[in-house]
Amino acid sequence: MGRLQGKVAIITGAAMGMGEADARLFASEGAKVVATDISVEKLRAVVSEINATGGDAIALELDVSSEADWAKVVANTIELYGTIDILINNAGILTCKDLEHCTLDNWNKVQSINSTGVFLGMKSVIPEMKKNRKGSIVNISSIAGLTGSVFATAGDVAYCASKWAVRGMSKQVANTYASFNIRVNSLHPGPTNTPLFQAADEPEGGWAPILSQVVPLPPYQTQPIMQAYAALYLASDEASFITGIELPCDGGFSSH
């Protein structure tokens, strides 16, 4: 308990899945959580439960592809809490379109959220972090940002490109702002039981027989809370000498 005591954390895509797990865990570890999402009603329900159990959280609507929305979130956070210590760029989408079936509109939509959203998030918070000469940013990439395999990418060319972009941006920004003691790392989840994963048609016999062929570590798929613990480590002072890395939380998928 208390690994983020007194820190202020902005989390995107916090209404469900990994973002929700991040918001709940970070609040339980003492962070003041600014939970953001476009699914406002779900987000408010999550925040209400966090506050009812002794946490400190607020819900703010955010389209991560909107620079104006980001400006409002940062301004509201500074007005209420006075600082920004942590940013978790978690929001993302998947369309499952291969190259031949990916329209330009599909491509641009995925990039606007998965890639541009991360760019805008960092661009928006880093000026505040520079003032305090400290900060931790965790950008959620994917095993699709480590490989181009059809399994890792769900066959989605735009998703794969966006997650590699997140990985590259994280390294470049980590180098640029290290002198301000601003750390930037990317987290690369493997199969995780989120709404994105649940939206796929489960094969007869379940996922384990298929996942076990590419994920060495049982049970071959994890829960959002395990990804949240990985994000917590990177966000916390325990990782104060770690920047510019990609951390796979993938059951060994990337060990192949």
Residue positions annotated with a catalytic role: 159
Per-residue 3-state assignment (H helix, E strand, C coil) for the chain: CCCCCCCEEEECCCCCHHHHHHHHHHHHCCCEEEEEECCHHHHHHHHHHHHHCCCEEEEEECCCCCHHHHHHHHHHHHHHHCCCCEEEECCCCCCCCCHHHCCHHHHHHHHHHHCHHHHHHHHHHHHHHHHHCCEEEEEECCHHHCCCCHHHHCCCHHHHHHHHHHHHHHHHHHHHHHHHCEEEEEEEECCECCHHHHCCCCCCCCCHHHHCCCCCCCCCCECHHHHHHHHHHHHCHHHCCCCCCEEEECCCHHHC
